[in-house]
Amino acid sequence: MQKSADRQIAYVALGSNLGDRHSTVLSALQELADIPCTRLRKASRLYETEPIGPAGQNHYINAVAELETCLSPAELLTHMQQIEYSFGRVRRKRWGARTLDLDIVLMGDGIIYTSTLTLPHPRFRERGFVLVPLAEIAPDAVDPVTGYTVADLLEALDSGCSVIESEAATI
């Protein structure tokens, strides 16, 4: 494991719309906290939201976690993919139903474009189900591409967020 000289703050979006969605997201938060060289600093409430993509999917449970880590973005992604796999994640089709989806939304002021990782997440600015919980825990976090805060991005979002309910995440 290659450790960065500095610890960075990473914001990770969590989502589930198969199985016991609440338990999956809460358990995944604990798994994120158990990643080596990583500490879970905060977690948003859990939000039930309407799915995007193919019709007929269950509603999602979404949340955002704030992690402090000395891992590189690629190393953090590898650990997150292992967590997804341990929850039965199978990558079949884009925007399809999933037991667990974990995405790095922002990591420090990093801007990365590789074949396996793009930071900031390329679509987070358009997704209320990411911006609402992210604004709850980090309204002043800055998108390094646009220079806007998360609160500014949420305010500018025209589609809003189809939040059906929210509840505290207790881990």
pLDDT in tens, 30-71: 999 999 999 999 999 999 988 887 778 899 999 999 999 999
The number of distinct structural domains making up the chain is 1
Longest dimension (CA), the chain: 46
**Single-letter code of the amino acid located at 136:** E
Quickly tell me which residue has 């500490």 as its tokens: 39
Q: Do residues 71 and 38 touch, judged by C-beta distance below 8 A? A: yes
* Alpha-carbon gap, residue 155 to 152, rounded angstroms: 5
Q: Is 21 a catalytic residue?
A: no
Half-sphere exposure of 44 (CA within 13 A, CB side): 25
Question: The domain that contains 22 carries what CATH number?
Answer: 3.30.70.560
Q: Is 109 a catalytic residue?
A: no
pLDDT in tens, 10-26: 999 999 999 999 999 99
- The catalytic position among 7, 41, 45, 89 is 89
pLDDT at 94 over 60: no
Which pTM was predicted? 0.89
Q: Which residues contact 26 (CB under 8 A, 6 or more apart)?
A: 46, 169, 170, 171
Average of pLDDT values for 131-149? 97
- The catalytic position among 21, 45, 98, 125 is 98
- The catalytic position among 20, 91, 92, 103 is 103
- Domain limits at 83? 3-167
Q: Is 103 a catalytic residue?
A: yes
pLDDT at 122 over 80: yes
Q: Which residues contact 24 (CB under 8 A, 6 or more apart)?
A: 16, 61, 87, 99, 100
Q: Is 101 a catalytic residue?
A: yes
- The catalytic position among 101, 125, 127, 143 is 101
Average of pLDDT values for 85-99? 72
* Alpha-carbon gap, residue 91 to 97, rounded angstroms: 10
